[in-house]
Amino acid sequence: MNYKIALIRGDGIGPEIVDEAVGVINRVGEKFGHTFIYVDVLLGGCATDAVGKSYPDGTAEICKSCDAVLLGAVGGPKWGSDKPAEQRPETALLAIRKDLGLYANLRPAALRPALAEACPLKKETAEKGIDLMMVRELTGGVYFGKRDRYETPDRGVECTDLMAYSEMEIERIGRRAFEMARLRRNKVSSVDKANVLETSRLWRSVMHRLAKEYPDVAYEDVLVDNCAMQLVRDPGQFDVVVTENMFGDILSDEASMITGSIGLLPSASMGDTAPALYEPIHGSAPDIAGQDKANPIATILSVAMMFRYSFHLAQEADAVERAVDKALADGWRTADIAKPGESIVGTRQMGQIIRDNI
Ligand code: NAD
């Protein structure tokens, strides 16, 4: 089969980690007999430097002509908040998510066996294993609601941020979660604040309706404050966790912390139609850019997600994940995951080791 992939290398360590990921994709192509075609897409600070805008005209159309999008990372101090919006890399990220209709953000948080000691939780908790998938609603809720700021006669300035959700928005993210659970361990935990928020009460009623359509999937409601607590007490209880935008923003960072390094975790953002977008959860790490120090594993595991969810190549996805686990089990470490005294490999060598393991 032929697959067309849009590559957004971006800024900082983006080009270095995407190069290693492309090497892995090509190795899978050789081994399993697929052809991968790449289309380079300019986006982020590098696009501002080249054409004066972080999101050049036509970017969405180029991405839509591809089967999937792989993004390294964008941003850096050079294009900070003093710059006009169209020159800031974050503007480009929000724009591409919106233009591609990416309403579901999937972040697996899995403790890789060889790195169990990097888990900051109690040893007996880590030993039970952590392997959960956060499914976060990405285009609704309070981050996208109407905002207001006004003077009051007696209380100074007052602000409001509106949290709004429709049944349609809740149902489509809910379906994603139930479908995802069927590919995993058949359990959905839906996180809300239904004891306080009206949006959460609607969220819960839609989820209950969906749960009846998926009788093979175990379902539970979890209040967001309890979920935050359970993630550090007993994260092994979770399989798929689905929640609205702001709760998901916070809980997915918490979930990533309990698995060790930021350099290890991939993500996918999806809509109803292709292409989906795959990217590491970390940023452009300007402090280590261009020094062959970045950990390419999060980007390489994003490639595994791309194989599994966009191309339905489960065997190929497994091969990439096994290659990463073998590299770690054999003791190879980039600086971010090395313990004092352990020898360290650079970005390129880690990429090569993983390719050789496939
Ligand atoms: P960051 O994730 O870039 O870096 C945080 C720390 O983690 C740094 O010390 C960095 O060196 C380290 N780190 C990150 N990725 C690593 C990797 N693969 N290997 C080894 N170490 C790694 O977060 P930040 O410093 O807050 O942000 C830097 C820039 O990235 C900002 O401009 C921010 O806006 C941008 N950003 C972009 C995205 C994205 O492109 N999706 C996401 C988050 C932040």
How much is the mean pLDDT over the chain?
A: 95
CB of 262 within 6 A of ligand 1: the answer is yes
- Look at residue 81 in the predicted model and tell me its pLDDT: 82
Contact 288, 325 (CB under 8 A): no
Q: Report pLDDT digits (tens) over 272-306.
A: 998 999 999 999 999 999 999 999 999 999 999 99
* Residue 249 among the catalytic residues: yes
- Look at residue 123 in the predicted model and tell me its pLDDT: 86
Answer positive or negative: Cα dihedral of 53, 58, 64, 68: negative
pLDDT band at 223 (very low <50, low <70, confident <90, very high): very high
Choose the residue to mutate in 74, 81, 88, 262 for probing ligand 1, maximizing ligand atoms within 8 Å of C-beta: 262
- Look at residue 46 in the predicted model and tell me its pLDDT: 98
Provide the percentage of residues in the chain whose pLDDT is more than 90.
85
Choose the residue to mutate in 8, 11, 282 for probing ligand 1, maximizing ligand atoms within 8 Å of C-beta: 282
Collect all residues with Cβ–Cβ distance below 8 Å to 212 and sequence separation of at least 6. Answer: none
- Least confidently predicted of 87-96, 252-261, 277-286, 295-304: 252-261
Inform me whether the pLDDT recorded for 118 exceeds 80: no
Residue 286 Cα to ligand 1 middle (Å): 7
Domain 1-109+262-358 = CATH 3.30.379.10: no
Q: Do domains 1-109+262-358 and 120-258 have the same CATH topology?
A: yes
Answer positive or negative: Cα dihedral of 187, 302, 71, 41: negative
Provide the percentage of residues in the chain whose pLDDT is more than 70.
100
Between the ranges 62-76, 131-145, 258-272, where is the mean pLDDT highest?
62-76
CB of 176 within 6 A of ligand 1: the answer is no
Q: Which atom of ligand 1 is nearest to the CA of 44?
A: 40
Q: Report pLDDT digits (tens) over 4-28.
A: 999 999 999 999 999 999 999 999 9
* Residue 225 among the catalytic residues: yes
Inform me whether the pLDDT recorded for 1 exceeds 90: no
* 3-class secondary structure, 50: helix
Average pLDDT rounded to a whole number, residues 108-124: 85
* Residue 148 among the catalytic residues: no
The single residue of 31, 128, 225, 330 carrying the catalytic annotation is 225
Q: Distance of CA 274 to CAs 1, 316, 327, Å?
A: 17, 20, 32
Which strands sit side by side in the sheet containing 187-192, from one edge to the other? 35-40, 2-10, 68-73, 276-280, 266-270, 104-110, 131-137, 240-243, 187-192, 218-223
Question: What's the CATH fold of domain 120-258?
Answer: Isopropylmalate Dehydrogenase (3.40.718)
Q: Report pLDDT digits (tens) over 27-53.
A: 999 999 999 999 999 999 999 999 999
Contact 152, 158 (CB under 8 A): yes
* Residue 278 among the catalytic residues: no
- In this structure, the chain runs to a length of 358
Residue 209 Cα to ligand 1 middle (Å): 39
Collect all residues with Cβ–Cβ distance below 8 Å to 123 and sequence separation of at least 6. Answer: none
| Ramachandran region, residue 52 (left: φ > 0; alpha: ψ -120 to 50; beta: rest) | left
Residue-range domain boundaries for the chain: 1-109+262-358, 120-258
Average pLDDT rounded to a whole number, residues 91-118: 90
- Read off the tokens for 20: 């290693």
DSSP E strands: which ranges in the chain? Answer: 2-10, 35-40, 68-73, 104-110, 131-137, 147-152, 156-161, 187-192, 218-223, 240-243, 266-270, 276-280
Residue 283 Cα to ligand 1 middle (Å): 3
pTM of the model: 0.91
CB of 27 within 6 A of ligand 1: the answer is no
Residue 253 Cα to ligand 1 middle (Å): 13
